[in-house]
Chain A
Amino acid sequence: MIWLTWRQFRTQAVFGLALVVAVAAVYLATRSTLLDIARDTGYTACTADCEQLASQFVKTARSGYLGKLYQIAALVLLLFPAVVGLFWGAPLVARELEAGTHRLVWNQSISRNRWLGVKLGGIGLATAAVAGLASWAITAWASPLDKVDGWVTPLTYAARGIVPIGYAVLAFVAGVTLGMLLRRTVMAMALTLLVIVGAMVGGLFLREQLVAHSTYQAPLAGDWDGGISLSPDDPNHEIRLEVEPPAIATWVLDNKVITSTGAVYRGPYDPDYCGPKATKGGDGPRGCRDWLTAQNLHQKVTYIGNDKFWALQWRETGVLLVASSLLAIFCFWWIRRRVA
């Protein structure tokens, strides 16, 4: 059975492997260039207060072809599950049912369970291996950049570490399941694409529930960075503050300014200090800022920091693999009961 699975799968396998080896080669080959930029900008040698150098490094690295590679990396890993689901998963059983060849192979001396088990297991492992290789190469390549920008920002996160493996495996099993249910390759491919996009978008929203959120709360510092918006004609003198989150908060879920009672601060502002008719506190917005700083306000940020990266990765991958296993169990049940 292993021989037959390999014989039927080898074209796709060679194609998939070639693609991934090419991706890995490109990223591993250009990594030294990226590290050179880090060294040349002085970022590598920097030991303290490196923010300036870090952003200089990221800016330089992202301007050339490396910037393109950085974008392509995310695209490759986000598209990979779809490709696997469509071209490895969906046709796996559907094509046999379409061509009637299941009647040929199931009448060899082999049970349907074993037939499906070898196919799901073998190609599922191949999927995990290929996704893992691509993700490893890209995660390693981008690590100097990610160190600056953070690993858990939603778009970066899904294209790093082991989560791409989870999505690829889920896409593969979902493709097989849909192919088995629909018995039509093309229809199964179309629906698989929908399901994968749905799973990834769903993952985007559910991800933040997987780890405990961190909270940052501190009084507004004298030099707080951010924006103020107010309407001069508003009789209630309502005012809104957007204060920049601290560097530790990589993935900001909620960012607000609160009063000492814990309520969100909405003013009222003092028109003497803030707004176009301000007379006190010096020129421009400076006076308003100082006035606001003096109002005993706090910034409260709910976030997921870089330290949660691996916890989040393991949990999300775990959820995806459990979902894949459930689908696989359903496949075994269905092939015994329903597929003729």
Chain B
Amino acid sequence: MKIVRMAAVGVAAALVLTACSSGDDGSATGGEETAEAAEITLWLNGADTPDELREYLTTTFEEENPGSTLVIEEQDWADVVTKLTTALPDAANTPDVVEIGNTQSPTFTTIGAFRDLTPLYEELGGDDLLPSFVEVGKAEGKNFALPYYFGSRYMFYRKDLWSAAGMEPPTTLAEFADAVTALRTDGQSGFAIGGQDWRNGISWVFANGGELATESGGEWTSTLSDPKTIEGLEQWQAVYQGASNVPATERDVAYWDFLNDGADGAAPAAATIMAPGWARWSIGDLTTNDEGEEVRDGMADTEKFGIFALPGADGGLAPVFAGGSNIAISATSEHPELSENLLRIIFSPEYQQMLGENGLGPGNSQYVDALGEDEFATTMIETAAASKLTPAAPGWAAVEAAFVYEELFQAIAEGGDVTELAAQYDERITPMLNGR
């Protein structure tokens, strides 16, 4: 497809149309050939955006831009940075519009890989757009990437076990710590969390008002030694050591397995876990679906399973790390106007609504109602509103790539002295954040 396009752009737009109509059904009947008509490419990551939404984008785009076509290509999350690194600077092969993981955004916004979207900011939603995501897509005060969708993480728990121990969902972080510590036995974690799992662990830092890093005058400083951050890290250390049986080296664990009953009705491996909302569909009792396959029932037994948002230090909600994506236009795109038209469709009320209906948190907070009204939807919206992202520093990708926080959290989980570790890692992280 790309080769066809590359060759054709140089020759004539008409050629593009004929070349592409074979691949795209139903779009080339009229064939109105205007000078600027072209084919643009949108890269979406993973299977998160459902087919229904993709079709909507293609058909709407083609209706609103007669003669032009939209090709959606699916990229894999694991490879997206590599592929963007090679393709974005290559004007002949660049995708026009790309989805990018929220914490990956700074890597590209800070080196001018994306087109400045500041002029469109108000039109596409302005201050209604999810602030933490807008922030992470900004560089030098300009908007380069805007929020596409968000997910959120909250606590899943075994209501039966909590009730049997006479406990209710906690209202403060300290209550949570006490409860899950009391629920731990040799065979069962009160709260299952791996030692290296800093993406869940940083909630304790945020809940105490701490930060991982701050910026001043363009210089980033790692702030692990800030008293509030240390307080949070020490609380997390106590929770891990008191409530979790998961090894200190684990991260990205499929925690949802822990909450299910073992084979032959054996007790579950954990009373509480922290996970993204979709974990729900991997939790519950075994049942048979329409196609006769064994599946989990999605926590149908509300006496047995439940959820709650991680409470803050003094009540309210603790800020959690929010997953999700931003969307941006390649700076080398040869069709910036068409690309902007596509963004207009993505940020239209109809499309934002559709995101919500499919369980994706819409980038524009006006439409979060579309997620629904059940407990899962409301908890997702609440936690997302209180969510926080990792620092938008140019060297953030380097910090993640070197697994620095994994190491730090493992050392803390193993009982290291938090103050000492914080000082040691501040020294290591600060230069990395600033790109060297």
B and A form one assembly: no
